[in-house]
Chain A
Amino acid sequence: GNSVTQMEGPVTLSEEAFLTINCTYTATGYPSLFWYVQYPGEGLQLLLKATKADDKGSNKGFEATYRKETTSFHLEKGSVQVSDSAVYFCALTNTGNQFYFGTGTSLTVIP
């Protein structure tokens, strides 16, 4: 079956620290992988995506590489800002219909 596992939070970092949020998956076939971000009281916003092995998705300083050999899609950012405080969801889809989300990782960045 399909599932996504991401590291549990909450994660608290100081401004300008390095961020890694781990995400691993199990899937049939060749899924596309996504990171979505949810700011307080809002819906999900697409942060980045990758559709095939070794693809790197990047946006706003965040990046994640689709690693088929380790079934991972870890999110990284070299220097976080206070404005990055949010909940981050890793997700996959095989067909574009059923999305499988991780449980979300809450990030708080303190000045």
Chain B
Amino acid sequence: GAVVSQHPSRVICKSGTSVKIECRSLDFQATTMFWYRQFPKQSLMLMATSNEGSKATYEQGVEKDKFLINHASLTLSTLTVTSAHPEDSSFYICSARGAGGDQETQYFGPGTRLLVL
């Protein structure tokens, strides 16, 4: 149980284009989903927290107009990197927290590697 998927797993795009990454909880309802960014050989940095049906809360320094987050249902959140640039190349990981008894454990997706040329 508690499986989180991400799609796509890898994406290469040209500078200036937008890229959408999907995060799905496959076997549980996720009231809250989180988006992280991970640079090579570094830890995860929380970008934003999204609750189903409401606006995402962004961490300091994260541009909300550049990283659009939509959490339209209890099983799906999307991250859109708008007008991507090479510096946006990174590993993006989502996680989800269930609606059940364990309100602390986050279950992570496999990540999406974005390369902007």
Contacts and interface: CB of A to CB of B under 8 A. Distances in A.
Nearest to A44: B108
Contact of B42 (A34, A36, A93, A104): A104
B70 to A, nearest CB: 19
Interface residues of B, number: 23
Interface string B86-109: 000000010101000001111111
Contacts of B4: 43
Nearest to A106: B41
Interface in B58-107: 93, 95, 97, 103-107
Chain A, interface size: which category?
20 to 34
Please name the 5 residue pairs, one residue from A and one from B, whose CB atoms are nearest each other, closest first.
A96-B104, A44-B108, A43-B111, A43-B110, A43-B108
A26 interface: no
Interface string A41-66: 11111100101000000000000000
Interface string B20-37: 000000000000101000
B61 to A, nearest CB: 15
B92 to A, nearest CB: 10
B46 interface: yes
Contacts of A45: 108
Given A42-B110, A43-B110, A101 B6 contact: no
B108 A103 contact: no
Contacts of B105: 34, 46, 49, 96
26 contacts: A32-B104, A34-B105, A36-B108, A41-B111, A42-B111, A43-B6, A43-B110, A44-B44, A44-B93, A44-B108, A46-B105, A46-B108, A49-B104, A51-B104, A89-B43, A93-B104, A95-B104, A96-B32, A96-B97, A96-B103, A96-B105, A96-B106, A97-B49, A98-B46, A99-B46, A104-B41
A103 B110 contact: no
